[in-house]
């Protein structure tokens, strides 16, 4: 079996006293989307910059398509595209002008740069705005142009650093569509995100990063399953929320999340130890009738909170 197209092994990186990466490992099989999920300061951008040959690790190794990102940086660069966290496009130029400029920077002939710019503008829904200055573009259009600029050389591996941070839902959806289209063509994508929903929607595998290392990996579904299902309860009488939460916490042997204003309680029911029926019976016994009880998978938000809590406990 060939090795994954993106591999990081024990990456370390310090900036003065800040230990940005502390032994980060990643493996992304070709043709898949890896979502690197973590809060601000987790080390996501540092990891992407190392993988994209823009920074060297202090320790550890990384390979793209089998090429070492430090020793074979040129080979790596020929395989990858990068859209950074902050849009790199020139405001004073038009969309088309930007793409032509990038084409030339990538050593395409004038003619090829032109042709590629037109092609990409058409494909990613930017043709209409192509001859307007980027200064007048919406945030979403700018990001899309930035993403498109990283595609000029038809990269096999694309790095997207927080591609939708700060975008409205519609623009976010447009970026997601563009990513899906690339993946359908066989591009491998590593994207960083702070949005659990984004990882859930796009990623085949998620690597949860906190304090410079991966604290959990798996498909979004597996991560959710590892945390266990939850039972959501809505009480008829919201004033009983705190008491009911107490009863349920004791029963489940775990912390519950309660919203006393809404009379809502969420109970983790890990490993099938507690069932929906148990919750109803327990509340009934305590004389607190639920208006609604439902079983559901945890959201990635809950998964993330649980995982980062746990990581803190072990530090
Ligand atoms: N060039 C730099 N100089 C000093 N500190 C840095 C630099 N780049 C990143 N850091 C620090 O390293 C940590 C990780 O940063 P970063 O990789 O940007 O995280 P993320 O992208 O997940 O928000 C942060 O504490 C950040 O302040
Ligand atoms: Mg970042």
Average pLDDT over all residues of the chain = 91
Residue 188, C-beta contacts closer than 8 angstroms, at least 6 positions apart: 5, 6, 28, 29, 30, 31, 32, 33, 156, 157, 158
20 lines ligand 1 (CB under 6 A): yes
Domains in the chain, ordered, with CATH?
Answer: 6-224 (3.40.50.300), 229-296 (3.30.70.100)
Q: Map tokens 């990409």 to a residue.
A: 120
For residue 313, what pLDDT band results from cuts at 50, 70 and 90?
Answer: very low
Q: What is the pLDDT of residue 306?
A: 78
Other C-beta atoms within 10 Å of 118: how many? 15
Q: What percent of the chain has pLDDT over 90?
A: 69
Q: What is the pTM of this model?
A: 0.84
> pLDDT tens digits for 212-230?
999 999 998 888 877 778 8
50 lines ligand 1 (CB under 6 A): no
* For ligand 1, mutation pick of 13, 18, 47, 210 (most atoms within 8 Å of CB): 18
Q: What is the pLDDT of residue 225?
A: 79
Handedness of CA 209, 214, 215, 221 (dihedral sign): positive
CA–CA distances in Å: residue 31 to residues 9, 62, 158, 182: 20, 18, 11, 10
**Ligand 1 closest atom vs CA 13:** 12
Spatial distance between the Cα atoms of 131 and 100, rounded to a whole number of angstroms: 12
> pLDDT tens digits for 113-138?
999 999 999 988 899 999 999 999 98
> pLDDT tens digits for 135-184?
999 888 898 999 999 999 899 999 999 999 888 888 899 889 989 999 99
220 lines ligand 1 (CB under 6 A): no
Asked if residue 70 lies in contact with residue 56, where contact means CB atoms within 8 angstroms, the answer is yes
* For ligand 1, mutation pick of 13, 16, 20, 45 (most atoms within 8 Å of CB): 20
**pLDDT for 8 beyond 60:** yes
17 lines ligand 1 (CB under 6 A): no
Residue 118, C-beta contacts closer than 8 angstroms, at least 6 positions apart: 96
How far is C-alpha 59 from the chain's CA centre?
Answer: 25
**pLDDT for 314 beyond 60:** no
Spatial distance between the Cα atoms of 77 and 157, rounded to a whole number of angstroms: 10
18 lines ligand 1 (CB under 6 A): yes
Q: How far is the CA of 268 from the centre of ligand 1 (A)?
A: 34
**pLDDT for 315 beyond 70:** no
Half-sphere exposure of 76 (CA within 13 A, CB side): 23
């Amino acid at each position: 079996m060939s090795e994954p197209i993106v591999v990081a092994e024990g990456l370390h990186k310090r900036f003065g006293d800040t230990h940005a990466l502390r032994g980060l490992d990643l493996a992304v099989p070709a043709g898949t989307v890896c979502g690197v999920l973590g809060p601000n300061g987790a080390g996501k951008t540092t990891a992407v910059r190392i993988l994209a040959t823009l920074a060297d690790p202090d320790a550890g190794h990384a390979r793209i398509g089998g090429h070492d990102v430090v020793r074979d940086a040129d080979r790596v660069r020929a395989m990858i595209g990068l859209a950074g966290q902050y849009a790199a496009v020139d405001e004073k130029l038009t969309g088309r002008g930007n793409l032509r400029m990038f084409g030339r920077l990538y050593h395409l002939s004038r003619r090829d740069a032109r042709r590629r710019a037109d092609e990409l503008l058409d494909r990613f829904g930017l043709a209409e705005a192509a001859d307007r200055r980027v200064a007048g573009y919406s945030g979403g259009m700018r990001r899309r142009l930035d993403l498109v600029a990283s595609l000029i050389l038809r990269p096999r591996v694309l790095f997207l650093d927080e591609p939708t941070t700060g975008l409205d839902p519609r623009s976010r959806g447009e970026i997601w569509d563009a990513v899906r289209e690339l993946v359908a063509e066989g591009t491998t994508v590593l994207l960083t995100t702070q949005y659990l929903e984004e990882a859930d929607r796009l990623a085949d595998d998620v690597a949860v990063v906190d304090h410079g290392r991966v604290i959990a990996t798996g498909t979004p579904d597996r991560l959710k399953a590892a945390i266990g299902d939850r039972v959501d309860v809505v009480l008829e009488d919201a004033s009983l929320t705190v008491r009911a939460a107490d009863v349920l916490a004791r029963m489940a042997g775990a912390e519950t999340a309660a919203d006393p204003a809404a009379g809502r309680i969420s109970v983790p029911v890990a490993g099938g130890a507690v069932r929906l029926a148990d919750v109803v019976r327990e509340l009934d016994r305590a004389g607190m009738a639920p208006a609604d009880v439902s079983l559901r998978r945890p959201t990635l938000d809950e998964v993330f909170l649980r995982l980062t809590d746990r990581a803190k406990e072990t530090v």
